[in-house]
């Protein structure tokens, strides 16, 4: 990879240990993927924040970098392993909280905004169309590429951090226009009625598109919550973190219809539900907010929970960013939700919190949430916000 004089100096250690380590990571990646040069990035989003995933080795790695590492561009964090303020109410141990706080402290010393959300685009980390960024959370990467039209590969935690310290990333993969061309036409001939249908659609396309870029036709409308749910699902279940929906996402009109075509029928949506849903009736945890809830989703939860009570046997988590929660406080939604016995899970989510062995069953709106919760040994049910609220106030999945 061709380096400028300045970049070579960084690699030689002229700008300190963290920058040198970062340049080693970026040049190694660039060489592996055939990048010709580094390109500037407008922002970075760092995953690998939960102590549950990092462990002591990860914490040590971060502390080492934090000694002299300072980010050069706007850098935000993915969810952590706990609500940074109300961890105790969510059943997180003191021991875990201490370690998680050390992780957050290291990121803070690097100059990173402690935002802890997988929807950074809802709280101010919103790239421009065509802007190069280095993001690492898969649903956010897919949203950035497809819905915003920014350009990013799916970075790992260390390569995203490296990009933040250098302000650049190797120019390969989805940073290059020639790699952003759709290569499979997906005709959707199914009706999408509720939010979780978008998760089911992502599952169905992910399985059929198999690491290809989808050019999707047959969808007439989509709102922000549907698109963020779809982004999380399609990339979890197989496809590339970039798709085009004709008439809805930017640049879709510039795409030629690829020759290879697959069709998504109603039966594919039904099959997706069948695969994602387990045979369970009792629900121990209900979680809405994967990806993190928008203010509209919180409003919906508040409307449905108003005057009701979550049963004692079930916990109900509303996962969101702290910033969106502040809006919910102002609009009065928080009061209604908490009065019903549901809990806000800010800064965290069901996948990265240390939940293994704590809950046996989950109800959620999210196909991605089901995928990761199964890895935490939970049985899963996916459905609408209405169905999830119903599960929370009865302790049962009824539909």
Q: Hey, what are 127's tokens?
A: 């790239």
Q: Considering only the C-alpha atoms of the chain, give the largest distance between any 2 of them, rounded to a whole number of Å.
A: 65
Contacting residue, 369, 370, 382, 388, with ligand F3S by CB under 6 A: 369
Q: Find the shortest distance in angstroms from Cβ 292 to ligand F3S.
A: 6
Nearer to ligand F3S, 19 or 227 (CB): 227
Nearer to ligand F3S, 76 or 78 (CB): 78
Q: Find the shortest distance in angstroms from Cβ 78 to ligand F3S.
A: 6
Q: Find the shortest distance in angstroms from Cβ 211 to ligand F3S.
A: 19
Q: Find the shortest distance in angstroms from Cβ 221 to ligand F3S.
A: 23
Contacting residue, 43, 139, 249, 314, with ligand F3S by CB under 6 A: 139
Nearer to ligand F3S, 15 or 137 (CB): 137
Nearer to ligand F3S, 30 or 291 (CB): 291
- Residue 317 forms beta bridges with which residues? 287, 343
- Point out which span in 92-100, 144-152, 285-293, 300-308 binds ligand F3S (CB under 6 A): 285-293
Nearer to ligand F3S, 137 or 297 (CB): 137
Q: Which of residues 371-390 bind ligand F3S (CB under 6 A)?
A: 372
Residue 91 backbone class (left: φ over 0; alpha: ψ -120 to 50; beta: rest): left
Q: Find the shortest distance in angstroms from Cβ 235 to ligand F3S.
A: 10
Nearer to ligand F3S, 18 or 44 (CB): 44
Q: Find the shortest distance in angstroms from Cβ 291 to ligand F3S.
A: 4
CA separation for the pair 172, 174 (Å, rounded)? 6
Please give the distance of CA 247 from its chain centroid, rounded to a whole number: 24
- Point out which span in 276-284, 294-302, 347-355, 376-384 binds ligand F3S (CB under 6 A): 347-355
Contacting residue, 122, 166, 318, 349, with ligand F3S by CB under 6 A: 349
Residue 368 touching ligand F3S (CB under 6 A): yes
Nearer to ligand F3S, 117 or 361 (CB): 117
Over the window 228 to 257, marking each residue x when it contacts ligand F3S by CB under 6 A and - when it does not, the resulting string is ----x-------------------------
- Residue 75 forms beta bridges with which residues? 44
Q: Find the shortest distance in angstroms from Cβ 117 to ligand F3S.
A: 8
- Point out which span in 142-150, 162-170, 247-255, 344-352 binds ligand F3S (CB under 6 A): 344-352
Q: Which of residues 8-37 bind ligand F3S (CB under 6 A)?
A: none
CA separation for the pair 276, 295 (Å, rounded)? 26
Strand order in the sheet with 134-135: 74-77, 43-46, 134-135
Nearer to ligand F3S, 43 or 364 (CB): 364
Over the window 66 to 85, marking each residue x when it contacts ligand F3S by CB under 6 A and - when it does not, the resulting string is ------------xx------
Nearer to ligand F3S, 172 or 344 (CB): 344
Q: Which of residues 177-216 bind ligand F3S (CB under 6 A)?
A: none
CA separation for the pair 339, 317 (Å, rounded)? 13
Q: How far is CA 51 from CA 78, 98, 107, 111, 223, in A?
A: 12, 10, 12, 19, 33
Over the window 287 to 326, marking each residue x when it contacts ligand F3S by CB under 6 A and - when it does not, the resulting string is ---xxx--------------------------x-------
Nearer to ligand F3S, 200 or 351 (CB): 351
Site residues for ligand F3S per CB under 6 A = 78-79, 118, 137, 139, 232, 290-292, 319, 349, 351-352, 368-369, 372
């Amino acid at each position: 990879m061709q380096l400028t004089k300045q970049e070579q100096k960084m690699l030689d250690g002229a700008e300190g240990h963290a920058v040198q380590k970062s340049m080693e990571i970026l040049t190694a990646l660039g060489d592996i993927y055939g990048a010709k040069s580094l390109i500037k990035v407008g922002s970075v989003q760092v995953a690998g924040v939960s102590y549950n995933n990092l462990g002591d080795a990860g914490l040590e790695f971060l502390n080492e970098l934090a000694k002299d590492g300072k980010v050069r561009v706007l850098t935000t964090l993915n969810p952590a392993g706990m609500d940074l303020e109300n961890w105790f109410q969510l059943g997180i141990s003191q021991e875990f909280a201490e370690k998680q706080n050390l992780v957050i402290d290291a990121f803070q010393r690097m100059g990173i905004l402690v935002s802890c959300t997988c929807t950074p685009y809802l709280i101010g980390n919103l790239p421009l169309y065509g802007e190069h960024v280095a993001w690492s959370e898969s649903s956010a990467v897919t949203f950035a590429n497809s819905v915003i039209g920014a350009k990013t590969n799916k970075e790992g935690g260390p390569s995203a951090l490296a990009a933040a310290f250098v302000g650049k990333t190797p120019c390969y993969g989805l940073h290059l226009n020639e790699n952003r061309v759709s290569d499979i036409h997906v005709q959707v001939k199914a009706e999408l009625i509720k939010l979780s249908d978008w998760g089911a659609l992502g599952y169905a396309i992910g399985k059929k598109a198999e690491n290809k870029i989808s050019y999707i036709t047959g969808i007439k409308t989509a709102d922000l919550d549907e698109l963020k749910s779809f982004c999380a699902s399609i990339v979890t279940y197989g496809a590339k973190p970039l798709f085009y929906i004709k008439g809805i996402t930017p640049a879709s009109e510039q795409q030629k219809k690829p020759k290879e075509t697959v069709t998504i029928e109603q039966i594919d949506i039904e099959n997706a539900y069948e695969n994602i849903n387990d045979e369970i009736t009792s629900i121990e945890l209900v979680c809405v907010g994967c990806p993190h809830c928008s203010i509209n989703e919180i409003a919906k939860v508040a409307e449905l929970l108003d005057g009701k009570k979550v049963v004692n046997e079930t916990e109900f988590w509303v996962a969101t960013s702290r910033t969106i929660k502040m809006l919910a406080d102002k609009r009065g939604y928080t009061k209604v939700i908490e009065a019903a016995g549901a809990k806000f899970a800010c800064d965290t989510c069901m996948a990265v919190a240390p939940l293994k062995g704590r809950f046996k069953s989950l109800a959620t709106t999210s196909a991605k949430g089901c995928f990761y919760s199964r890895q935490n040994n939970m049985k899963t049910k996916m459905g609408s916000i209405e169905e999830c609220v119903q599960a929370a106030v009865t302790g049962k999945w009824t539909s």
